[in-house]
A and B are shown apart, each in its own frame.
Chain A
């Protein structure tokens, strides 16, 4: 969802990887282009498995693809 705390750098990584298309990435990861588009646009948070597959497709660690904005300390506490 757009309100997700998860941000990603897929678009920049695709560009850096020889302007890889969403379809090419989707084929490597084993999902549809629509799903890659949704992940890139922050409309869908992938499972860990697909997240690792995406990082693997670019040959970078997971942390270079996805970032998580940790909530402020104590935000989970009542």
Chain B
């Protein structure tokens, strides 16, 4: 038998405000931009007016959803201060997102080189930005749980 004192484990902290915020951001990006890409592909090239309205609508909805949900989250849980671990997690996630973004930009350049048109080139670039942002959120969630 060991003489070491038995030290009760403290329960693992639940999701922090930051993690909840990341889940909300990732989910809203997936849902709202997913809808945008689905509609944009349906519309196709040659409808710049409708596409412009759709894109503006998506940006506005994104801002409203983020503001409302974050306000609701903040009512239920006080946001924690940001410390060095948060900054390290954010930096590592930004590095991962950067690789994805650069790859996506090269993909968009490839689309441009194939002369597929402004519509597809712009949407390839936008897709790269959206995927990079998802990787940014997802990486942070993984680093928070598994360690940075």
Contact = CB atoms under 8 A, between A and B. Distances in A.
Interface of B: 5, 7, 10, 12-13, 16, 80-81, 83-86, 88, 144, 146-148
Contacts, number: 54
B9 to A, nearest CB: 8
Given A12-B7, A32-B16, A33-B13, A43 B147 contact: yes
Given A15-B7, A37-B10, A46-B84, 18 more contacts: A21-B10, A22-B10, A22-B13, A31-B85, A32-B86, A33-B80, A34-B13, A34-B16, A34-B80, A35-B84, A35-B85, A35-B86, A38-B85, A38-B147, A41-B147, A42-B147, A44-B85, A44-B147
Nearest to B6: A15
Contacts of A60: none
Contact of A11 (B7, B12, B80, B83): B7
Interface centre among A33, A37, A38, A47 (most CB of B within 10 A): A38
